[in-house]
Amino acid sequence: MAGELSFEQPLIELQQKINELKQFSQEKDIDFSEEIVRLEERYKKLEENLYKELSASEVMQMARHAMRPTSLAYIHEILDSFIELHGDRLYGDDLAIVGGIGKVNGIPVTVVGHQKGKDTKDNIARNFGMPHPEGFRKALRLMEQANKFGRPIITFIDTPGGYPGGAAEERGQAEAIAKNLMEMAGFRVPIISIVIGEGGSGGALALGVANKVLMLEHSIYSVISPNGAASILWKDANKADEAAEAMKITARDLHELKVIDGIIPEVLGGAHRDVKEQASYMKKEILHHLTELMQQSEEEIIQGRYMKFRNIGEFMFISDEETQQS
Amino acid sequence: MLKDFFQKKRKYATIPSEQAKKDIPEGIMTKCVKCGTIQLSKDLEKNLKVCTSCGYHFKLSARERVALTLDDGRLFEYDHDMVSKDPLQFPFYEEKLIKQMEKSGLNDAVVTGEGTINGYPVVIAVMSYDFFSGSMGSVVGEKITRAIEKATQKKYPLLIFSTSGGARMQESILSLMQMAKTSAALKKFHNEEGLFISMCTDPTLGGVSASFAMLGDINLAEPGAIVGFTGRIVIEQTIRQKLPSNFQTAESTMKHGQLDKVVQRSELRDVLTQIIEIHADKKVSS
């Protein structure tokens, strides 16, 4: 194992114990096989339970894991072929968002996703997956192209949020995000979005106005980072764990709130343990939803997407106590 | 002696007398938050709450804005009794909602409805910063969306006055999704060739600017209004960037191509009338 997280400590300790026992039994030529089998069973059980019952802040650690597979990793696994396309034709090419065209099981698609770096150097080039307006505009250009040619769109969401900087503001960060939301709502082609890690705020939603919104099991989606919420609400960024719980940011929470359409299970221990296997789960889901959506008329695609978002929100009326919810 | 010095100093401390307090009733004078000029509140009101000295545009509540914008200040209000729930049982949200209602006299951060401007009917939505910093939760998203749908249906021009610190954190993901909901409704409105005038007032930030506020056919702003996505403090704290003093002001945001026009409060009704008139032959059926 590599890149262990603090809550995985019990597993690591148990693994060490097993290793020690194995070594000891070899060195001293004493038969501990029964104990070893027992411990390995315990390990398996512990592992299964551990990842099933992660707290929100633990899921957050998984979602932000340094080794978490990125959009490009999944693109290469899921697509038969892929040509990356660059630039927004207006200002530049933002490497925090990648996109291009290719095929999934022979079906032509356009894919767009936030792109975090594989290492520090890559992360700096990709601005840690935080797009500037030109990133969102590149995404929009590619999605409009897909809409023109009638190709379904697949988006991968993985960003802490739009970049908080002066230049991003001056080039119209708000307008760039807003435009994506509005235009995605009108596309006649099916859109499938998968939150693969961190779905941070408007910068995430800018790729997320889809017919089907899915989340990987250990990913998060929130209006503001738990750290940000804690510092604004309680003037204490150290209360991020508390905020993470209160804000309901995990895939399971969002599914219960009916904001997302499904959860894609992760390989035991997290997607980074086996990218190929993880990608195969995702490909299966993508194909399932694609075939279903591709049978719908353009009108049904547009209206279905519209109603999905139209119905989100909880409110009531004080006069007659009429209540509505998503 | 040192001790005497302090005692002496204490003698000089002035405590406003009860008499003085009585002579100046509360609120008769107002100090401009920008230039510090103290002026008669009455004069300030007469000047549409624009500082008589420096032209600073004071924040207006939704009710004040309606009164200044619509003919005779008359609004046929929609969904007046819609209020927030606490869908996530977020710590202290209910208590805060009650406090905000008491403070502002509003049921949430936006007032919607229809009225006329120089005889032209419009659907109008006016956000109020004095309710929860104008944050957008389910109620704001729903009321704005319903207003957009009404405007689509009636083929009236749509006018939205925005002011917001961003999304309402206490409703978490549901707040975020209001951005998609309102923007999707605007897509339909634009498809029907509806006219949307977006008016950004101080401040228009976060989830509101990154959805409907930036999607006008014509985006206007009040002088000095802060218009942007991420606010100055967050940028400064997160990336330690030094920002110019005029950062995100309407004038600077316009210079960077994000707004069509900065409009003085005193001229707004005229400008709105002109814009609506130009589009009138097509869409307004009064």
Q: Which residues of chain A have pLDDT under 50?
A: 321-326
Q: Other CB atoms closer than 10 Å to residue B274's CB: what's the count?
A: 11
- How far is the alpha carbon of A323 from chain B, nearest alpha carbon, in Å? 9
Could you say which of B180, B185, B227 has the minimum Cβ distance to residue A209? B180
The predicted structure's pLDDT at residue A25: 87
Q: Other CB atoms closer than 10 Å to residue B42's CB: what's the count?
A: 11
Question: Are the Cβ atoms of B173 and A169 closer than 8 angstroms?
Answer: no
Q: Which two tokens stand for residue B250?
A: 């309407």
The predicted structure's pLDDT at residue B286: 46
Is A278 in contact with A65 (CB distance < 8 Å)? no
Q: What is the pLDDT along chain B (286 residues), one digit of tens a residue?
A: 444 544 444 445 455 555 555 555 668 899 999 999 999 999 999 999 999 999 999 999 999 999 999 999 999 999 999 999 999 999 999 999 999 999 999 999 999 999 999 999 999 999 999 999 999 999 999 999 999 999 999 999 999 999 999 999 999 999 999 999 999 999 999 999 999 999 999 999 999 999 999 999 999 999 999 999 999 998 998 889 999 999 999 999 999 999 999 999 999 999 999 999 999 865 444 4
Residues 151-170 of A with CB under 8 A from B: 162, 164-166, 168-170
- Read off the amino acid at residue A324: Q
Question: Are the Cβ atoms of B167 and A224 closer than 8 angstroms?
Answer: yes
Is A153 in contact with A192 (CB distance < 8 Å)? yes
**List of residues 6+ apart from B187 with CB closer than 8 A:** A182, A183, A185, A186
Between CA A82 and CA A98 the distance in angstroms is 12
The predicted structure's pLDDT at residue B237: 87
- Which residue reads 């999934």 in tokens? A104
Contacts of B169 in chain A (CB under 8 A): 223-224, 229, 232-233, 247
Give me the interface pTM, i.e. the ipTM.
0.94
Question: Are the Cβ atoms of B176 and A177 closer than 8 angstroms?
Answer: no
Q: CA-CA-CA-CA torsion for A276, A281, A285, A291, nearest 10 degrees?
A: 60
The predicted structure's pLDDT at residue B11: 46
Q: C-alpha distances in angstroms, B86 versus A5, A296, A314, A324?
A: 33, 36, 8, 13
DSSP A110: E
Could you say which of A162, A182, A314 has the minimum Cβ distance to residue B186? A182
Between CA B283 and CA B190 the distance in angstroms is 12
**List of residues 6+ apart from B202 with CB closer than 8 A:** B57, B59, B129, B163, B222, B224, B225, B226
| Angle separating helix axes A298-310 and B172-191, nearest 10 degrees | 140
Q: Other CB atoms closer than 10 Å to residue A230's CB: what's the count?
A: 23
Question: Are the Cβ atoms of B91 and A246 closer than 8 angstroms?
Answer: yes
Provide the residue count of chain B: 286
**List of residues 6+ apart from A24 with CB closer than 8 A:** A30, A32
Q: Which two tokens stand for residue B39?
A: 């002026």
- Which residue reads 């290469």 in tokens? A76
The predicted structure's pLDDT at residue A26: 86
DSSP A224: S
Q: Which two tokens stand for residue B68?
A: 């200044």
- Cis before B91? omega within 30: no
User: How do residues A135-146 score in pLDDT, each as one tens digit?
Assistant: 999 999 999 999
Residues 213-272 of A with CB under 8 A from B: 221-224, 228-229, 232-233, 246-249, 254, 257, 259
Question: Are the Cβ atoms of B172 and A222 closer than 8 angstroms?
Answer: yes
The predicted structure's pLDDT at residue A68: 97
Question: Are the Cβ atoms of B178 and A313 closer than 8 angstroms?
Answer: yes
Q: Which two tokens stand for residue B28?
A: 């008769």
- How far is the alpha carbon of B3 from chain A, nearest alpha carbon, in Å? 41
**List of residues 6+ apart from A201 with CB closer than 8 A:** A161, A162, A222, A223, A224, A225, B167, B176, B207
The predicted structure's pLDDT at residue A33: 85
The predicted structure's pLDDT at residue B6: 46
Q: What are residue B199's DSSP bridge partners? A: B161, B220
Could you say which of A181, A205, A315 has the minimum Cβ distance to residue B84? A315
C-alpha Rg value of chain A to the nearest Å: 22
Between CA A209 and CA A150 the distance in angstroms is 17
**List of residues 6+ apart from A91 with CB closer than 8 A:** A133, A134, A137, A171
What SS3 state is found at A218? coil
Q: For chain A, list the strands marked E by DSSP.
A: 81-84, 97-104, 107-114, 153-159, 191-200, 212-216, 220-222, 262-264, 315-317, 323-324
Q: Which two tokens stand for residue A280?
A: 């195969």
- How far is the alpha carbon of A157 from chain B, nearest alpha carbon, in Å? 15
- Which residue reads 């009917």 in tokens? B121
Of B202, B22, B155, B174, which is closest to residue B84 (Cα–Cα)? B174
Between CA B263 and CA B120 the distance in angstroms is 20
Is A153 in contact with A146 (CB distance < 8 Å)? yes
Between CA B216 and CA B125 the distance in angstroms is 13
Between CA B130 and CA B153 the distance in angstroms is 31
| Interface test with chain B among A309, A316, A320, by most B beta carbons within 10 Å | A309
| Interface test with chain B among A180, A182, A209, A299, by most B beta carbons within 10 Å | A182
Q: C-alpha distances in angstroms, A89 versus A84, A86, A177?
A: 15, 9, 17
Q: Other CB atoms closer than 10 Å to residue B92's CB: what's the count?
A: 12
Q: Which two tokens stand for residue A138?
A: 């590149």
A175 at interface of B, judged by CB pairs closer than 8 A? yes
Could you say which of B90, B228, B241 has the minimum Cβ distance to residue A174? B228
- Read off the amino acid at residue A86: H
The predicted structure's pLDDT at residue A144: 98
Phi, psi of B242 (to 5 degrees): -85, 130
What SS3 state is found at B59? coil
A185 at interface of B, judged by CB pairs closer than 8 A? yes
What pairing do the DSSP bridges indicate for beta strands B120-127 and B110-117? antiparallel
Among chain A residues, CA nearest to B212? A178
**List of residues 6+ apart from B52 with CB closer than 8 A:** B37, B39, B43, B44
Question: Are the Cβ atoms of B238 and A182 closer than 8 angstroms?
Answer: no
